[in-house]
Amino acid sequence: MIEFDAVRKQYPDGTVAVERFDLVVPSHRVVALVGSSGSGKTTLLRMVNRMVEPSSGSVRIDDVDVRSMDPVRLRRSIGYVLQAGGLLPHRTVADNVATVPLLEGRSRRQARADALGLLERVGLDPAIADRYPAQLSGGQQQRVGVARALAADPNILLMDEPFGAVDPIVRDQLQTELRALQADIGKTIVFVTHDIDEAFALADEVVVLRAGAEIAQRGTPAEILAAPADDFVASFVGAGTARRSLRIREIDGRALVVDGDGRPTGVLER
């Protein structure tokens, strides 16, 4: 369980990235922070592993204030996935995945064996283990990033726009895989995105943020879609647009789902 308790962040240059933020992320749940650029999402995420220290308030993991933990130990115990992977360019894929176990003093053989297993787990051919990051596609790099985050078997995963740098088709694929993976491993995941569809696709709970990390609305994807709290949330989720206003049209005895412009998007199974 991660708790944000009245956290505020003002950067040294005076920017207030987070005004005052409270949130509880229950264990084994996936929570998405969505909001436009500069709304403070990354800042919030980085407070969890102490890459950013709150100006006031506190962040607790399982009731322990993160400030009382050694930052390096804390970071090694939390998986962190960044946009475009953030892999070390001078280490092979296997070494990248095994980074934290190796730092923790695991034997090379063991770490490598584990890394190969993890690669398979995130849908990669272990044959690429000895390549370097620059030799992989964007989607593959991203998968390696996920594998690296899982390597120390952390309870918590933080993901900052994990699929922001890959094309829409690969993104879809990665989202599907992550959902399957989560069904299996049940981590506590906080992820940041400005793609509301990604949030709906992956999260149990979605938190929509305004500037200064002010919570505009939080709830399950269904709750937010069904009843946007205000105009800001409504426009953010695209409520009322053709894409979100689906209707049913009967054709040849089958119920076709069409959007506001009448373009078919699927078939209703009854």
Partner 1 sequence: MNLFLEAIQWILDPASWTGEHQLGARVLEHLAFSAAVLLAAALLGIPAGIAIGHSGRGRGLVIALTSGARALPTLGLLTILGLGLGIGLEAPFLALLVLALPPVLAGAYAGVESVDRATVGAARAIGFTEWQVLACVELPLAAPVIIGGLRSAALQVISTATLAAYIADTGLGRPLFRALKTQEYGVMLGASILVALLALVVELCFHAIQSAAARRAEPHRTTPRRAHARARERTHR
Residues that bind partner 1 (CB under 8 A): 46, 49, 51, 72-77, 80, 82, 84-90, 92, 99-100, 103, 131-132, 134-135, 138, 148-149, 165-167
- The one-character DSSP state at 131 is S
C-alpha distances in angstroms, 96 versus 28, 46, 133? 26, 21, 9
Query: Which span (37-45, 138-146, 169-177, 243-251) binds Mg ion, by CB under 5 A?
Result: 37-45
Q: Helix, strand, or coil here: 185?
A: helix
Q: Which does 89 bind (CB under 5 to 8 A by kind): Mg ion, partner 1, ligand ATP, none?
A: partner 1
The residues near 234 (Cβ < 8 Å, ≥ 6 apart) are 228, 240
State whether the Cα torsion 84-89-143-147 is positive or negative: negative
Of 49 and 188, which has the nearer Cβ to partner 1? Answer: 49
Contact, 156 vs 79, CB < 8 A? yes
- Which positions lie near ligand ATP, rule CB under 6 A? 11, 13, 15, 17, 35, 37-43, 194
Task: Decide which of Mg ion, partner 1, ligand ATP, none touches 258; Cβ closer than 5 to 8 Å per partner kind.
Answer: none
Helices then strands, each counted (H, E), the chain:
10, 13
Whose CA is closest to 195, among 172, 159, 170, 161?
A: 161
- Compare residues 13 and 261 and give the one whose CB is closer to partner 1: 13
Rounded to the nearest whole angstrom, what is the least distance from the CB of residue 108 to Mg ion in the complex?
35
C-alpha span between 241 and 252 (Å, rounded): 27
Please choose which of Mg ion, ligand ATP, partner 1, none residue 90 contacts, taking the beta carbon within 5 to 8 angstroms, the exact cut-off set by kind.
partner 1
Please choose, out of 35-43, 55-63, 71-79, 240-248, the segment that lies near Mg ion by the rule CB under 5 A. 35-43
CA–CA separation, 229 and 200 (whole Å): 16
| 42 near Mg ion (CB under 5 A) | yes
Does 193 sit near Mg ion (CB under 5 A)? no
Of these partners, partner 1, ligand ATP, Mg ion, none, which one is at the site of residue 134 (CB under 5 to 8 Å by kind)?
Answer: partner 1
At 19, which amino acid appears? E
Q: What is the DSSP letter of 152?
A: T
Shortest approach of Mg ion to residue 208 CB, angstroms?
15
**Whole-angstrom distance, CA of residue 114 vs CA of residue 118:** 6
Q: How far is the CB of 142 from ligand ATP (least distance, A)?
A: 17
Point out which span in 39-47, 54-62, 115-123, 126-134 binds Mg ion (CB under 5 A). Answer: 39-47
Q: Which residues in this chain contact Mg ion in the complex, by CB under 5 A?
A: 42
